[in-house]
Structure 1
Amino acid sequence: MNEPDGPAPAVLRLMLVDDHPVVRRGLRAVFDDQPDVRVVAEAADGAEAITVLNTVTVDVILMDLQMSGMDGVATTRALQDLPGSPPVLVLTTYDADVDILAALDAGAKGYLLKDARSEVIIAAARRAADGKLALSPDLAARVQRHRENTTALSPRQIEICRALAEGLTNKQIAQRLFISEATVKTHLVHIFDKLGVDNRTSAIAEADRRRLLSRR
């Protein structure tokens, strides 16, 4: 993602990416009351968002994490390859450390929960538009603690564990995560090593014991 050269614009132009129309309407209603914020585009998933970006100028994307189509992490990662793409501020109901790390590692500039006050969301969006990281002190501390634990699974490895728990094959995992089967196999070797197991079934059981499979 290319960071902006100057400060956030006086009028902040937002794109809302969420697969729930009710959520998008609610957010739009909140921002419509703000004279210095304008919702200029909406999308129901990442693929649609990337298409819409070709037709409108956006300062910040408010991105849901879990969507029925292309999800927030995959979309954020894909945006890194697009020149001049706007920064992403994740707005979600999920507050697990692994989800936060996955979003940040994909290139998101911030992470907020959907129950955040409107002024907090706007302030975070402006920080993101300025190229600054928008995380609450609590979330920033949690991320730092998690990253200091070198034995922890990476966000990508946790994604693969969750896919294993769904019964997906290596090929299906590769297709979901837009990586090669060889990369999936490499991840599995590291996952087994970190979890202290030697097969997929044991990996799922150990990941579940560590509460890595649930997003709640």
Structure 2
Amino acid sequence: MNSHLSANILLIDDHPAVRSGIKRALEVSGLNCCGEAANRAEAFAQIAHKSPDAVILDLNLPDGSGLDVVQWIRKHSQEMAIVILTMSDDESQLIAAMRAGASSFVKKSAPVSEVISALKSSLDLPKNFNAAGLAAALKNSQVAEQLTQREMTVLQALNQPGTNKELAKGLFISEATFKTHLAAIYRKLEVKSRFGAVTKARSLNLF
């Protein structure tokens, strides 16, 4: 888009105070808010009626996930900019937003200037996903996906008290087999101890 100033932007968030704050920031930046929606149903109706150039969207809506809105938009438009604005620190949500077709992912704790910057970038390149911490999230996601189902079971067992022998017995496998899986887990998570594995697993939201 040649001019951000001509863009129509729809705000989708169930908190009036959040919508009001973003709307003021848009106005200060010379950008146009064409409407507001407080839930998923209103979002679908507003998007269909107003065909905005961009949406600023909360992931947690009272009647469903904002990811449903992202996927619905992408079925109808590849050009609409989609900025996710969320309280979530969950890296899996960031990855899910990217895979659903969002343009940007910004935390609500970020400065308003960052939201406006993400919006402008998304208007220019709606299919070029941008998010702080994206590289780390992708790496962590790839690490998690490398674990086999059995390794995931062993990893979850590490979150319980007990020796390797006791945990292995609880999983109905030998201690030697348990240690083999443990070695694979350490290698894939790049850790050297049970404590390190549990800590890393929690950071990856595997528990």
Identity of aligned residues (%): 23
CA contact (8 A) 2:95 2:138 kept: no
Corresponding residue to 1:45 among 35, 39, 43:
39
Could you tell me which runs of 5 or more consecutive residues in structure 1 were left unpaired when the two chains were aligned: 1-5, 154-189
Q: Distance in 2 between matches of 1:90 and 1:18?
A: 10
Instruction: After superposition, give the CA deviation of every residue in 1:157-190 in whole Å (9 maximum; x if it has no partner).
Output: xxxxxxxxxxxxxxxxxxxxxxxxxxxxxxxxx8
Q: Distance in 2 between matches of 1:98 and 1:84?
A: 23
The one-letter code sitting in structure 1 at the alignment partner of 2:93 is D
Corresponding residue to 2:53 among 59, 65, 69:
59
Residue 135 of structure 1: aligned partner? 131
CA contact (8 A) 1:151 1:194 kept: no
RMSD: 2.9
Distance 1:80 1:122, change over 3 A: same
The question of 1:28 aligning with 2:27 is answered no
CA contact (8 A) 1:47 1:75 kept: no
CA contact (8 A) 1:65 1:71 kept: yes
- The answer to which structure has the higher helix fraction is 2
Partner of 2:34, secondary structure, is strand
Q: Distance in 2 between matches of 1:33 and 1:54?
A: 27
Distance 1:83 1:124, change over 3 A: closer
Distance 1:49 1:150, change over 3 A: same
Q: Distance in 2 between matches of 1:149 and 1:84?
A: 30
TM-score relative to the length of structure 1: 0.64
Residue 64 of structure 2: aligned partner? 70
- Give the number of equivalent residue pairs: 163
Instruction: After superposition, give the CA deviation of every residue in 1:42-90 in whole Å (9 maximum; x if it has no partner).
Output: 1112221111112214121111011111221121122221246622110
Corresponding residue to 1:15 among 1, 10, 16:
10
Could you tell me which runs of 5 or more consecutive residues in structure 2 were left unpaired when the two chains were aligned: 161-197
TM-score relative to the length of structure 2: 0.67
Instruction: After superposition, give the CA deviation of every residue in 1:90-129 in whole Å (9 maximum; x if it has no partner).
Output: 0011122111111111111110011222222111111111
